[in-house]
Amino acid sequence: MTAVGAAFTRAAGEGRAVLVGYLPAGFPTVDGAIEAGRAMAETGADVIEIGLPYTDPLLDGPVVQQAMDRALAGGTRPADVLRTVEAVAATGVAVLVMTYWNPVDHYGVDAFARDLAAAGGCGLITPDLTPEEAGPWLDAAAAHDLDRVFLVAPSSTPERIELITKVCTGFVYAVSVMGITGARDRVGDAAAGVVSRIHACTDLPAAVGLGVRDGAQAAEIAGFADGVIVGSAFVQRLLDAPDPASGIQGVRELAEDLAAGVRRPARTAKAK
């Protein structure tokens, strides 16, 4: 079991959901992203996703795209992503890389898996990689004991969900809405149904992402999901900050609010 699986097991034993936080490497700077990741880890995040900046992030909304553009303009490269992983993982929190497939393919699939494992990373979340095309990654992940996290959308058929969950390890990423990332006023109505359909196919935990912005929404999702994934809301805190110190404080405050949300006692039974 990787540190990701251990985080979900520990949270389940405590009767709560896992908090998964996301930030792109290199934003606002490489060192700034490391400091923000450490702040998340210190204030309640169980798992942290480090985004690999990419020029064509199809799933990401304007907030994350703006952060990625700034990271790329600052010269962020895969080596900086791995350095960020290593520094954040040193806190003891489980760290995954969220990445589109082209940068990994360009780097070399086995080489990236090797270097990610050496940096203390636990695996990849791959939003644009399909199970049918994932053979090289599945082999490399198995060779280096890394988790493989794929996405299930509200539009996914039962057959598709079964196929996706068979190749996942760690957890399954349940997309709450059809569309791009970004904080929303309310969680998509489809989220609970997606989680239920995932639980019908696998014993792996299901974590819900896209749209969560505060502790109240985190508490809502924690009522039916095993994990709550928050990205754009963290990035927005850094974008809105007048200076780096204020941005880190904003990240801390949001992480504390979200961590309290996933720990609220009202939880519903999960379909298995």
- Residue 147 belongs to what H/E stretch? strand 147-149
> Is 162 an active-site residue?
no
Sign, CA dihedral 93-107-25-260, equals: negative
d(CA 211, CA 213): 6
d(CA 91, CA 101): 27
Q: Which of 60, 115, 226, 257 is catalytic?
A: 60
**What are the C-alpha distances in Å from 101 to residues 108, 199, 227?**
11, 26, 24
Q: Which of 35, 46, 49, 257 is catalytic?
A: 49
DSSP secondary structure, 10-64, as one string = HHHHTTSPEEEEEEETTSS-HHHHHHHHHHHHHTT-SEEEEE---S--TT--HHH
The β-bridge partners of 228 are 19, 208
> Is 257 an active-site residue?
no
Residue 51 contacts residue 98 (beta carbons within 8 Å): yes
Q: Which 8-state DSSP code applies to residue 128? A: T
Which candidate, 151, 165, 176, places its Cα nearest to that of 204?
A: 165
Catalytic site positions: 49, 60
